[in-house]
Amino acid sequence: TPVFDVTAIRRDFPILAQQVNGKPLVYLDNGASAQKPQAVMDAMDRYYREMHSNVHRGAHTLGDRATAAFEGARETVRQFVNAASTREVIWTRGTTEAINLVANGLAPRLKAGDEILVSHMEHHANIVPWQMVAERTGAKVVPIQVTPEGELDLESFDQLLGERTRVLALTHVSNVLGTVNPIASLIQKAKAQSVVTLIDGAQAVPHFQPDVQALDCDFYVFSSHKLFGPTGIGVLYGRAELLEEIPPYQGGGEMIERVSFERTTWNVLPYKFEAGTPAIAEAVGLGAAIEYLNRLDRNAMEAAENALLQRANALIETVPGMEIIGTARNKVPVMSFKIAGLHPSDIGTLLDQQGVAIRTGHHCAMPLMDFYGVPGTARASFAFYNTLEEVETLFTGLQKIQRLFA
Ligand code: PMP
């Protein structure tokens, strides 16, 4: 079995080696945003020290260096998701902007009575942009039901996918439940009905690598900051034919071929969707994050993450009144929970006093909170740099909180 040297890995993440509230930091809020390895900071620092200039403007050496670094990062992302071409890799500000771009781009295809299929476990980022475009076009946003265990109800999917369905917009992994959805088969069924498919990969990519060609989805989106890269940048993978068809999202410099007051024409892909000066250093940082991940043993990493989840699962019964929300068979190491007699936000505050960072609240998934009849949950979300000892610290903290306050 592959070994995963978590002690060595933690040295790559300087932020982890600190005390918070007099206790060693235990960072279990990776689902909200992950920490960055030194390699990412070094790459961005070197970019600013040695190569910063605007990109794609030619004319001088720094411009060429910046462009090479920026486009090199795009190629790194292309390989990461296995896109056929860098023409299909669009930089965005993140998952949210990528979904807004696609929802707006598909608006001309939508008319009254059309349906946009999402699920009851979506993040607001994969609900609200569709509601906004539905409002404009008369289309309807329809949610696929979720089972009490937190899996997609496949019967509900089969019932809802129909004549009127134009778009399937589905999360790969739930940010609340950790559920890994069986998207490949759902994409296949959708495609058989000529439905456009978008996969929200925000919570998937920190745990495993997607293959957009094998999945055969039309769009796949994610954020850099959850993938151990910088904030302010994300990725829209799109099938070239569809990206050619849909109109630009924003107008400005870079996205045009020729501008005149009579007629303006669009630049080629991917630049058609990249108006204005992009987040160059951030693209370089994301590229460095992926290269860092590429140096790790993927199988060992997944095994280590699974071991964290198994340890957490084994400790649930040590906290009286603790209940897990999301018990799917196939899940990433994310644990949403409640404890009888305690408000989730109090759990968060009391854990923080012990150096343990988790997230509490509705997790931008209010429809899912309504489904479970809770105002919010406490959520511990693990990354490959977390340790079994940290899982134990979390549970020691929970036991104490339960004893004293529940
Ligand atoms: N989708 C999912 C599943 C998420 O977890 C998140 C972030 N919590 C988003 C979308 C939105 O990502 P961002 O805020 O980086 O655009």
123 lines ligand 1 (CB under 6 A): yes
Q: How confident is the model at residue 247 (pLDDT cuts 50, 70, 90)?
A: very high
171 lines ligand 1 (CB under 6 A): yes
CA of 234 to the centre of ligand 1 (A): 10
In DSSP terms, 216 is beta-bridged to none
Q: What is the pLDDT of residues 56-93, one digit of tens each?
A: 877 899 999 999 999 999 999 999 999 999 999 999 99
Averaged pLDDT for residues 21-38 = 98
User: b/e per residue, 116-149, with b = 16+ CB within 10 A?
Assistant: bbbbbbbbebbbbbbbebbeebebbbbbbbbeee
96 lines ligand 1 (CB under 6 A): yes
Is it the case that residue 352 has pLDDT exceeding 70? yes
ipTM: 0.99
Active-site positions? 364
Q: Please give the structure tokens belonging to residue 289.
A: 């994050």
Q: On the CB side of 234, how many CA atoms lie within 13 Å of its CA?
A: 24
Is residue 39 within 8 A of residue 288, CB to CB? The reply is yes
Is it the case that residue 1 has pLDDT exceeding 80? no
175 lines ligand 1 (CB under 6 A): yes
What is the domain partition of the chain in residue ranges? 6-30+297-405, 41-294
Q: How confident is the model at residue 2 (pLDDT cuts 50, 70, 90)?
A: low
CA of 400 to the centre of ligand 1 (A): 32
Averaged pLDDT for residues 13-41 = 98
100 lines ligand 1 (CB under 6 A): no
Amino acid 368: pLDDT: 97
CA of 211 to the centre of ligand 1 (A): 20
Topology of domain 41-294 in CATH is Aspartate Aminotransferase; domain 2 (3.40.640)
Give me the CATH code for the 6-30+297-405 domain, please: 3.90.1150.10
Q: How confident is the model at residue 271 (pLDDT cuts 50, 70, 90)?
A: very high
CA of 124 to the centre of ligand 1 (A): 8
Q: What is the pLDDT of residues 172-181, one digit of tens each?
A: 999 999 999 9
pTM across the whole model: 0.98
Q: What is the pLDDT of residues 100-140, one digit of tens each?
A: 999 999 999 999 999 999 999 999 999 999 999 999 999 99
Q: For a pLDDT cut of 90, what percent of the chain falls above it?
A: 98
Whose Cα sits closest to atom 4 in ligand 1? Answer: 202
118 lines ligand 1 (CB under 6 A): no
Averaged pLDDT for residues 357-373 = 97
Q: How confident is the model at residue 366 (pLDDT cuts 50, 70, 90)?
A: very high
Whose Cα sits closest to atom 5 in ligand 1? Answer: 175
Query: Residues near 118 by Cβ (< 8 Å), separated by ≥ 6?
Result: 126, 127, 130, 141, 142, 143, 144, 169, 170
Q: For a pLDDT cut of 70, what percent of the chain falls above it?
A: 100
